Structure 1
Amino acid sequence: MDNRELAEKLFPNIKLTVGDIEKKYPPRNLAQGVPVTRVAPSPTGFMHIGGIFAALISERFSHQQNGVFYLRIEDTDKKREVEGAVGLIITALKKYGIKIDEGEVELEKEIGAYEPYRQSQRVEVYQVIAKLLVEQGLAYPCFCSSEELEEISKQQGIEKARPGYYGKWAKCRDNPSEKIIKLIGKGRPFAIRFKSSGNFLNKITVNDLIKGEKVLPENDLDVVLLKSDGLPTYHFAHVVDDHFMRTTHVLRGDEWFSSFALHLQLFEVLGWTPPLFGHISPIQKTDGVSRRKLSKRKDPEANVEYYEKDGYPQEAIVEYLLNLANSDFEDWRKKNPEADSRQFTLRLEKINQSGALFDLVKLQNISKETIAKMTADRAARAALQWAEKYDKDLAKAMAKDSGYLEKIFSIERGGTHQRKDIAKWSDSRREIGYFFEIVFEKTEMNWPKLLPEVGPAEVKAVINKFLDSYNVADGQEEWFAKIKQIAVDLGYAADLKTFKQVPDQYKGYVADVAKILRVFLTGKTETPNLYEIIRVMGEKRVKDRLKKALKKL
């Protein structure tokens, strides 16, 4: 039985040819050099922030050159597939502004001429190519059971041999035709393996768009191309799909760099020009004195839902990831504070080869800047939208009066001194919750701890004098003049300079008086401009709170 007959025996139902597939997926009508990139996640769980990072790099790299960026779902590992994970992928890409030109833009709704974009729906394509490889003597059926493969691995350990299915360990590589026919006749399950002609002792030089020129051992592994269920492995499927989808640049995780030689070998034996490859090192995290990659199991911040629940604006995440991708993005942003981040030119050679270091403090600072730049209306709507999902009580209070909420967010917004107390929407309860009675009244305020140098009599004196002089119509200068007068009347200095000159003669200075009012109106020692807070709260709320405080003292 020759190879052609064997191919027919293994794939009796495959009638299409490679030519048919080439005709169905012709070369793209794009100018020379225009990139076609993709993101190809597996629906095996939550969306990792590293997946968004890689997708962002691929999408920006392509679109900044007027190229094509598509989504391909690599769902051939049915044992690990998680229900609903495809929807999570699509939602996450949309949420972070990663624009898909082709693929599944909504669940089970595809756009693009190179469909289907789910690998599980492209099985016939893989089988056509696998059949071709068998015909050419470049692939063969493997009947090894999982037990037999485990025994091979065990024996390799005993002999301290390199693991894998190759050389003398490739038990089915040279099975005679009679044995193959007999096993097929018995209904024995089989996989299709690549018949590698490589020599591990040989070295090949590869060019990586991110890592640069590297030397790797030649591949000699007879890897599985099609599993016994007929579905392809990643090694095979990505080569076939990237060829027929006419991908020009593959920007993927560093975990595939060790398989780079194998993938190039597959492209070579099939007679296809490989795309250019760039391997992105995983995002790193400091753990004690060492660094390790961000872990799905150990680190909640690996899951994109972490940022959703904490309330980071999506554009802040994008800004931060661009900082991780290219360190010069930060300088570009300083020079272009109002520019769309898409105007920044991402450069692959500037991506950190050893893996960017995740810094939550840096993310929070970027997020503070992002929120500070928002209009009051937009910030109010975004905070409410988050609270409706994650803080129902706060949302209920916020929703009662949209005008009041917008006024709250208008405090110290714009101008040279922008408020930057909110880094994420989950900070809203802590930073603005005191504006709402339902939150303020539930807050246990330990004012002696907040004002350790002040006694009840002093608090009463300050509050009573403030209530006597308070006029809702006062402008800020007039209001502050009254606060100064209260301070002077009660033995405080009118300003810091005066207090520092003769501190023994004063109880403190005007800021200490304002602090007493701040604590009993907000429950906090540090807030944005107190006058603005009082103005937004309104006369009734301010007087009611201070009168209640007097009764409790």
Structure 2
Amino acid sequence: MDYKKLAQLLYPNAKDAAEIEKRYPPRSLQPGAEVTRFAPSPTGYLHIGHFFNALIDYQIAKGSNGVFYFRCEDTDKKREVKGADKIALEMLKLLKVYPNEGWLLDGEKGEYGPYKQSERLEIYHAFAKKLVSEGKAFPCFCTKTEGKADVLEQRAARFDKNATNEEYDPCRNLTYDEIAEKIAAGQKFALRLKTNGKDGDRVQFSDVKKGEIEMQANAKDVVLVKEDGIPPYTFAHPIDDYLMKTTLVVRGEEWLPQTPVHLEIFDALGFTPPKYFHAPLISKLNADGGREKLSKSKHPEADMRFFIKNGYPVDSIKEYVLNLINSGFEQWRNAHPDVDLDEFKFSGSEITAIMPIFDEIKLNDISKNVIARLNASQVYDQVFEWAKSYSPDFAKLLAEKPQFCTNVFNIDREGPKPRKDIYNWSMIENYFGYMFHRPEIDREIIDNEANFKEFILAYLHAFSLSETKEEWFDLVKQIAQKEGYATDNKLYKAQPELFKGNTAKVCEYIRIALTGKKDAPDLYTLMTILGEDEVKARLRAALK
């Protein structure tokens, strides 16, 4: 058959592949610099597994002074969700994972585009024509099988020990005249690879983490271009990653079985393939203690927006995912608790090879430490930014009283042992609710209502906001002693029946009156932030 004539029949308007290849010269990079990409399909939200891979891409490119670019793989038009590409880009921006080039929020950036696959059809058709002209691909006019019985039969065949791995399409043997007749009749065609693989053939390749791998070679005439002229990932991946000079492809290990197909297509095109790293899939323990893949349908935390909506700081999210990715990160963080996250030297050799388990308790522990390292102003800024999107009433309060709120957030924060019981911003309004709103006191937590009211009334009459904590505490002890409370703990322990209680008891009464809680941070600090008028108002309210 005259394959060049066939190529012209199938793709009469396609451009010359050699000329297109000239548009993509080698990149000017330092030796050892890696070119990585994040290339999601815009079919929904950004999955935590996708971010796991994107963070590996970003860290490897950054650590080697290379390039990390974003490519939008929007060829699956049936499943495409409008705006999903922007959701992914906005999430990367929020999480401070910045592509150097590609399809970006403010338009394309870079010399290796277009970076959106739907805008690269002329490129795919040029290389499709090239393969046809070399006798490596052929048109298929077969009707797509969609019946359930067909699918079940195909699945059963996979487990048949006597079944062949070969899957040659009948259209591979059509003559030129037969093809021309079908084209003239207006029949649509898909383009298939004319595989050289045979049943039993083996192929060897290297994975960055898994090492040398041997698998069944491809022996199927896979689709390169669908009837609508759009290529599946199988064909777009080799073309795009070769032309864009990708040096390392990071993808989920579910793609590992497809690697022999991709390598055969690279070879057919005459392209050198990139290195591959097939990343493990993130799992979660189920009720029976077994592992299951984090799925969109069952696990809300599969969606990266879950973490933002619940107010996890960006550094908490990144530190947790780095902890899942890199076995050396936790040790580094323990040795450098106060060092900025960007100082971590990412090592590809320490990337996990086993399926990591999502653990919300571990996430919360990491986030407690991240938040404990922030100063009050940083907490205010981050809480305010979060509240503007997810808690507008709280955001209004924060905007009206910035200094007051900053002072509240500074309670027990900048000392030698900062509090570590807040792990996301959605907790903080309730956590400090007694500072933002006068509390409703549950009278059942008061052990003696008469003693409580009697002391609070005496304290209210004598109260003034003292200059120092020592002066304030001296006043508390004076009132306590006058009202029949022990100020000497040794004496109280020896003869408790002589007193209504001790100094700790009256401080508990004050704390309940001001916060509605038996346990709260330092009383004097709370009162200095609330101010004298508010303290008196709360004491009066507690007497009702």
TM-score per shorter chain, which class? Answer: over 0.9
Correspondence 1:476 to 2:495: no
Q: Which residue of 2 aligns with 1:23?
A: 22
What is the CA–CA distance in structure 2 between the aligned matches of 1:423 and 1:313, rounded to whole Å? 8
Q: How high is the TM-score relative to the length of structure 2?
A: 0.93
Distance verdict in 2 for CA 1:81–1:507, change over 3 Å? farther
Distance verdict in 2 for CA 1:497–1:139, change over 3 Å? farther
Correspondence 1:465 to 2:464: no
Aligned pairs (5 A) from 1:362-511: 362-437=362-437, 440=438, 444-448=440-444, 450-451=445-446, 454-484=447-477, 494=487, 509-511=502-504
Q: What's the CA shift string for 1:456-488, capped at 9, x where partnerless?
A: 112213322332443212412232344455556
Q: Which residue of 1 aligns with 2:75?
A: 76
> Which of 103, 109, 112 is matched with 1:111 structurally?
109
Correspondence 1:537 to 2:530: yes
Q: Which residue of 2 aligns with 1:66?
A: 65
What is the CA–CA distance in structure 1 between the aligned matches of 2:83 and 2:419, rounded to whole Å? 40
Correspondence 1:179 to 2:178: yes
What is the CA–CA distance in structure 2 between the aligned matches of 1:398 and 1:413, rounded to whole Å? 18
What is the CA–CA distance in structure 2 between the aligned matches of 1:158 and 1:265, rounded to whole Å? 26
Give the percent of matched residue pairs that are identical in Structure 1 and Structure 2.
41
Q: Which residue of 2 aligns with 1:285?
A: 284
The letter for the 2-side match of 1:281 is P
Q: How high is the TM-score relative to the length of structure 1?
A: 0.91
Structure 1 residue runs of 5 or longer lacking an equivalent are none
Distance verdict in 2 for CA 1:43–1:502, change over 3 Å? farther
The letter for the 2-side match of 1:526 is D
Paired residue secondary structure (1:147): coil
What is the CA–CA distance in structure 2 between the aligned matches of 1:177 and 1:154, rounded to whole Å? 34
The question of whether the paired residues in 2 share the 8 Å contact of 1:46 and 1:88 is answered with yes
Distance verdict in 2 for CA 1:461–1:149, change over 3 Å? same
Q: Following TM superposition, by how much is the alpha carbon of 1:64 offset from its aligned partner in structure 2, in angstroms?
A: 0.8
Q: Which residue of 1 aligns with 2:344?
A: 344
Q: Which residue of 2 aligns with 1:307?
A: 307
Q: Following TM superposition, by how much is the alpha carbon of 1:315 offset from its aligned partner in structure 2, in angstroms?
A: 1.5
The question of whether the paired residues in 1 share the 8 Å contact of 2:202 and 2:216 is answered with yes
Q: Which residue of 2 aligns with 1:120?
A: 118
What is the CA–CA distance in structure 2 between the aligned matches of 1:13 and 1:401, rounded to whole Å? 66
Q: Which residue of 1 aligns with 2:541?
A: 548
The question of whether the paired residues in 1 share the 8 Å contact of 2:169 and 2:221 is answered with yes
Q: CA RMSD in A?
A: 2.5
Structure 2 residue runs of 5 or longer lacking an equivalent are none
What is the CA–CA distance in structure 2 between the aligned matches of 1:29 and 1:505, rounded to whole Å? 87
The letter for the 1-side match of 2:541 is K
Q: Which residue of 2 aligns with 1:276?
A: 275
Q: Following TM superposition, by how much is the alpha carbon of 1:416 offset from its aligned partner in structure 2, in angstroms?
A: 0.4
The question of whether the paired residues in 1 share the 8 Å contact of 2:315 and 2:370 is answered with yes
The question of whether the paired residues in 1 share the 8 Å contact of 2:284 and 2:292 is answered with yes
Distance verdict in 2 for CA 1:497–1:368, change over 3 Å? farther
The letter for the 2-side match of 1:110 is E
What is the CA–CA distance in structure 2 between the aligned matches of 1:155 and 1:319, rounded to whole Å? 46
The question of whether the paired residues in 2 share the 8 Å contact of 1:64 and 1:342 is answered with no
Distance verdict in 2 for CA 1:30–1:388, change over 3 Å? closer
What is the CA–CA distance in structure 2 between the aligned matches of 1:137 and 1:149, rounded to whole Å? 32
The letter for the 1-side match of 2:256 is F
What is the CA–CA distance in structure 1 between the aligned matches of 2:275 and 2:354, rounded to whole Å? 20
Q: Following TM superposition, by how much is the alpha carbon of 1:498 offset from its aligned partner in structure 2, in angstroms?
A: 7.3
The question of whether the paired residues in 2 share the 8 Å contact of 1:74 and 1:119 is answered with yes
Q: Which residue of 1 aligns with 2:330?
A: 330
The question of whether the paired residues in 2 share the 8 Å contact of 1:173 and 1:195 is answered with yes
Distance verdict in 2 for CA 1:481–1:243, change over 3 Å? same
Q: Following TM superposition, by how much is the alpha carbon of 1:247 offset from its aligned partner in structure 2, in angstroms?
A: 0.4
Aligned pairs (5 A) from 1:154-193: 154-157=152-155, 167=166, 170-193=169-192
Q: Following TM superposition, by how much is the alpha carbon of 1:536 offset from its aligned partner in structure 2, in angstroms?
A: 0.3
Paired residue secondary structure (1:63): helix
> Which of 502, 505, 512 is matched with 1:519 structurally?
512
The letter for the 2-side match of 1:81 is E
Q: Which residue of 2 aligns with 1:41?
A: 40
Distance verdict in 2 for CA 1:510–1:260, change over 3 Å? farther
Q: What's the CA shift string for 1:77-120, capped at 9, x where partnerless?
A: 1111111111111111111111211112215x111000110011
Q: Following TM superposition, by how much is the alpha carbon of 1:274 offset from its aligned partner in structure 2, in angstroms?
A: 1.0
**Range with greater deviation from structure 2 (343-352 or 488-497):** 488-497
Distance verdict in 2 for CA 1:488–1:322, change over 3 Å? farther
Distance verdict in 2 for CA 1:241–1:401, change over 3 Å? same
Q: Following TM superposition, by how much is the alpha carbon of 1:157 offset from its aligned partner in structure 2, in angstroms?
A: 5.0
The question of whether the paired residues in 2 share the 8 Å contact of 1:152 and 1:169 is answered with no
Q: Following TM superposition, by how much is the alpha carbon of 1:388 offset from its aligned partner in structure 2, in angstroms?
A: 2.2
Q: Following TM superposition, by how much is the alpha carbon of 1:495 offset from its aligned partner in structure 2, in angstroms?
A: 7.7
What is the CA–CA distance in structure 1 between the aligned matches of 2:318 and 2:453, rounded to whole Å? 50
Correspondence 1:140 to 2:133: no
The question of whether the paired residues in 2 share the 8 Å contact of 1:34 and 1:65 is answered with yes
Aligned residues: 542
Q: Which residue of 1 aligns with 2:222?
A: 223
